[in-house]
Amino acid sequence: MPILQRQNEQAEEKRRIGITTAKLVPEGASVFLGSGTTVLEVARNLRNHKNLTVVTNSMAVINILADISHITLIGIGGLFRLSELSFIGHIAEAALSEINVDLVIMGTRAISLTHGLTNDYLPETMTDRTIMRIGQKVILVVDHTKFGRTATAFLAPLDAIHTIVTDNGTPHQYVNSLKEMGIDVIIA
């Protein structure tokens, strides 16, 4: 479903994930914010951070942060994907190759202990792979409904993620398994 239709699903869980994740972003950091409804909650909670540089391919994130003078906002262009209000493709990936950030904060469609991170739309997945490579640390923000699922397009193995912020509906078996893999799991 398009982003505008998904924004009310698990709204309370996403709100808590956004608050918790924003606390992980230090003042003065550079951060990439991906597209997706949970990342939008992170963006809403970064508005009071000082001296941030935010890079994004999300039109919705740009709209949330555009009026904040103490945030340097860098928008990545490319092919506009209406359903996600995001920019993807070759032009976006070329722009991303010129950027390094402290943190990448992104979501994914599905996360599986067996199949790793997967998405539904291959062109977006290729851009997301490029996004993951620009960060010193990758934080995945996903509510409990994303766990134990596999989508069509492989994005990355689980060891590409440093931290996962999720909600208390995530099954304990997933949390424990991810921690055993060395991934920091934070329950919002």
Q: Looking at residue 6, what is its pLDDT? A: 58
Q: Which of 162, 169, 172, 165 is nearest to 188 (CA)?
A: 165
pLDDT (0 to 100) of residue 149:
95
pLDDT for residue 83: 87
Spell out, as residue ranges, where the chain has pLDDT lower than 70. Answer: 1-8
Q: Which stretches within the chain are classed as H helix?
A: 3-6, 11-22, 37-44, 59-65, 90-96, 122-133, 172-180
User: What pLDDT sits at residue 1?
Assistant: 52
pLDDT at 8: 64
- Residue 30 is predicted with a pLDDT of 98
Is this prediction's pTM over 0.85? yes
- For CA atoms 3, 38, 168, 117, the dihedral sign is positive
pLDDT for the residue 98 = 96
Identify whether the C-beta of residue 167 lies closer than 8 Å to the C-beta of residue 16. yes
